[in-house]
Amino acid sequence: MVLHSSSDSVLRNRNLLQVLHQILDVLSKFAKNYNKRLNFSKFASYLKLNPSEVEEIIFLLLDFQELYETTLNKYSLKKRINNNQVYLVTEKIQKLNSIPLKIRMSQSHINQFNDIIYFFKHVKRGKGFDVQTNGTDLLKNVKELCDFYPYCFQEQQNGLVYPSKFGLKLGELLLSYKKSNKNIKKIDIEETQIVVDSCE
């Protein structure tokens, strides 16, 4: 949008921005009231919008909606400032995987996860795993365990897979148990209990 130099034009644009904020505030009232209708003609009259402005604002709202449903459906916009310049950047939206209260893991999966965390902490030094490439058995195990236990991993914007906070807690416990040669049957992490199945 290019703002004209005249004070009237600047004032008008500022007023339209205020109007947009008011409209967004009203639209937020649709939460838990999706069966309701917004009389936009009446609302536009209250805001003292002329017919062309009403059409332009509705077009803008619907255009934004389509943009977020298509181009940005897996990304969120973020504001960044660098060298006094303002940038808009995209960040991949992380899926929130709820952690079950009880998890059953086979002994082989426990061993694989232990190896993954050890490799992540001591070999990769915190760098993620590229599960899209045809790589080692370890990468295949990462991909397999991601499918079985998605709450133990998270994919970052760079496309690499990392252990989640929960996954790191579990992995650190497994490393300590293995170091002391403890036989693992159950592990408690906060409200979640992991039961180890001895039978494969």
Q: Are 167 and 123 in a shared domain?
A: yes
| Distance in angstroms (rounded) separating the CA atoms of residues 70 and 47 | 31
Expressed as residue numbers, the domain containing 13 is 7-27+37-73
Residue 80 lies in a domain: no
Residues 37-66 pLDDT 10s: 999 999 999 988 889 889 999 999 999 999
What distance lies between CA 119 and its chain's CA centroid?
A: 25
Per the structure, the count of domains in the chain is 2
Q: Are 125 and 55 in a shared domain?
A: no
Q: Which residues contact 9 (CB under 8 A, 6 or more apart)?
A: 3
Q: Are 120 and 160 in a shared domain?
A: yes
Q: What sign results for the dihedral spanned by CA atoms 73, 139, 167, 169?
A: negative
Residue 1 lies in a domain: no
Q: What DSSP element (H or E) covers 111?
A: helix 107-118
Q: Look up the CATH number of the domain holding residue 133.
A: 1.10.10
Smallest Cα–Cα separation from 90: which of 98, 78, 101? 78
Strands 192-197 and 153-155, sheet pairing: unpaired
Residue 94 lies in a domain: no
Q: What is the pLDDT along the chain (200 residues), one digit of tens a residue?
A: 444 455 666 556 667 788 888 999 999 888 878 888 999 999 999 988 889 889 999 999 999 999 988 988 878 888 888 899 999 988 776 665 688 999 999 999 999 999 999 999 888 888 889 888 777 899 999 999 999 999 999 887 777 899 999 999 999 999 988 888 888 889 999 899 999 987 55
Residue 163 lies in a domain: yes
